[in-house]
Amino acid sequence: MPALKPLKKAVLPVAGLGTRFLPATKAMAKEMLPVVDRPLIQYAIDEAREAGIEQFCLITGRGKTAIVEHFDVAYELERTLAERNKQAELDVLRAMAMEPGSMVTVRQQVPMGLGHAIWCARSFIADEPFAILLPDDLMQCDVSCTKQLADAYLETGGNVVAIEEVPMERVNKYGVLDVDKDMGRLVLVKGLVEKPPIDKAPSNLTVIGRYVLMPEVIGHLAKMEKGAGGEVQLTDGMAKLIGNQPFHGVRYEGKRFDCGDKTGFLEAQIAFALKRDDMAPAVREFLKKYT
Ligand code: UTP
């Protein structure tokens, strides 16, 4: 295998309308919704950093400026915290400080679909491999999900996507794999289809919101072909890479919470609170009242 280009870039699309969370998302970005005390976007950035990602591109849209502010230095806040000797709170802010120049934003003026959002990052991606993290998929795992993909990329080269098995009756909500060879943790992919009818789905292995892709996907997305739901689908662009480049699914080890969905979001709150020593006993106690 020729030497692989290192994986240093990540694209995080945050330009969606978040209609399932209206009215909460009328004036506020869905990606700023907190799970316990961290906004969804911060979990995604932290996860990417754990995988060695150094450059970040947020695909933003109208009403998303709070996300950019979140990663800026809050100078007055920090000074006030320092004056009040709030060291623990200051440490929280400083731990999330971004390296100057490591985060750029690109505007997707009209949310035409995930594939279109990724195409908007084409100058940032240039000719390098890149990760994609959809912040509304929240991961809880020992090894960062993006790190699991980055490790698989070093093994296989080419494109790798995180996958999950779902009950057959739910496959029509996801991008679905057509499997060439199932090797356990890794699955060699021979096709991909976005939101297939249940009786036409090639498997129940579905793509979740973490990817490592080769820059050639941009050329396919540039054709702006509309797929499922009349949107430019990333799945369709990725499908065109198969046959020309390696394409693998990685059975991700850990839990995934679909925080774009109200029930998934609530479950994430409980799961993450139960992992916190300062909260778990009280949360366990109050949960008894509801079961
Ligand atoms: P979703 O379909 O889950 O997000 O897209 P949405 O469209 O905001 O949510 P609903 O369905 O209306 O409630 C997955 C990810 O892709 C981004 C979203 O911001 C989200 O992070 N996205 C989607 C874009 O950036 N642009 C798009 O055109 C579509």
Torsion of CA 59, 28, 53, 76, to 10 degrees: 120
* Number of folded domains that form the chain: 1
The finding on whether 260 has its CB within 6 A of some atom of ligand 1 is: yes
pLDDT at residue 117 greater than cutoff 80 = yes
CA 203 – CA 221 distance, rounded (Å): 24
**Residue 1 belongs to a domain:** no
* Structural domain boundaries, residue 213: 9-290
The finding on whether 221 has its CB within 6 A of some atom of ligand 1 is: no
**Residue 2 belongs to a domain:** no
Condensed to tens digits (0 to 9), the pLDDT of residues 171-192 reads 999 999 999 999 999 999 999 9
Here the tokens at position 166 are 């779902």
CA 180 – CA 247 distance, rounded (Å): 10
**Residue 56 belongs to a domain:** yes
pLDDT at residue 1 greater than cutoff 80 = no
The finding on whether 33 has its CB within 6 A of some atom of ligand 1 is: no
CA 117 – CA 232 distance, rounded (Å): 9
| CATH code for the domain in which residue 16 is found | 3.90.550.10
Nearest atom, ligand 1, residue 15 CA: 25
Q: What integer is the mean pLDDT of 146-163?
A: 97
Distance 75 CA to ligand 1 centre (A): 31
Selected residue with higher pLDDT from 280 and 225:
280
**Residue 268 belongs to a domain:** yes
**Residue 267 belongs to a domain:** yes
* Predicted confidence band of residue 228 (pLDDT cuts 50, 70, 90): confident
pLDDT at residue 206 greater than cutoff 80 = yes
Condensed to tens digits (0 to 9), the pLDDT of residues 240-274 reads 999 999 999 999 999 999 999 999 999 999 999 99
pLDDT of residue 284: 96
Distance between first and last Cα of the chain: 54
What is the distance, to the nearest Å, from the Cα of residue 116 to the centroid of all Cα atoms in its chain? 16
Residue nearest atom 14 of ligand 1, based on CA coordinates: 134
Here the tokens at position 97 are 């400080």
pLDDT at residue 63 greater than cutoff 90 = no
Query: Do 117 and 108 touch, CB atoms closer than 8 A?
Result: yes
**Residue 3 belongs to a domain:** no
pTM: 0.95
- Burial bucket for residue 89 (CB in 10 Å: 0-12, 13-18, 19+): middle
